[in-house]
Each structure stands twice: as structure tokens, then as C-alpha cells.
Amino acid sequence: MSHFTRVRTALRDPALLARALTAVGLAETEVHEVPQVLYGYRGDARPERAEVIVRRAQIGAMSNDIGFRRTDDGTFEAIVSAFDRGHYGEPWLQRLTQEYGRAATLQYAEHNGFEVTGEERETDGSIRLLLRRSA
């Protein structure tokens, strides 16, 4: 049975988090109002619960669910098993955070009359979006 580790993030919006998860290759994400049970690699229910969940079927046969649980301050903490941290550890969370920022910027642009005129991905992994106010 794998031990689950909790990692604090600055992510707050579950819909943007789901978009970011899709951008990093995990398209089937569950978003719930009430925290749901996470399952281990044997299909066993674990005591951990989360509002945003990527089920183990998407990750790999020997993997556990990955969850994001809302904390008291409104941010989400990632819940990742010790086994899965090798692939879904700090570098992956940094990439997820970048994609969350991209999704948040695109949402802001759409709601505030901007259009995206360009997008560049830097060698360090950062994303640069060029916006122009729509006429």
C-alpha cells in the first residue's frame, strides 16, 4: 500500500485545474463539489478524499488516483502516492502550475476583450502569451 503525500499549491479554481490537467496529458478529470474517495493501485478505497481527481486508470495499472483537495485557505493541495511521485512529483507540479497560469490568462483575456495574437514556449518551460485588446 502506497503512502500518499500532500503538496500545497497556489491553485484555486477547479475548472482551471481540470484544463491544466488536460494540457499535461490527463484529459479525464473528475471535478466534484464534495470530496470523493481516492483509490489505491489495488482498487482499494483509501482514507484520502479530493474534489479534483485523476483516476488511476488514466495513469497506469500499478498507479494510484491523484487528487487535489481544497484546503481551508481555498487553495488545492495535490495528493500523490509515493509510487507515483517519480513521474508526478515536483517537476510535473511545476508544469501543471504553468498550464494553470496559461488557462487563467486565456480565461481573463476572453472575459475582458483581449485576443491571443501569439504564444511562445521558452526553453526553460515558461509560456509567453501575447494579447491584444479586441476592436
pLDDT score at 40: 94
CA within 13 Å, CB half, 75: 12
pLDDT score at 124: 81
Name the stretches of the chain with pLDDT < 50.
1
pLDDT score at 3: 59
Task: Give the integer Cα–Cα distance in Å for 35 and 28.
Answer: 17
Helices then strands, counting H and E runs in the chain, come out as 3, 7
pLDDT score at 78: 95
- Measured in degrees and rounded to the nearest 5, phi and psi for residue 91 equal -60, -40
Strand runs labelled E in the chain? 4-8, 29-39, 45-54, 66-70, 76-81, 114-121, 127-133
* Cell numbers standing for residue 109: 483575456
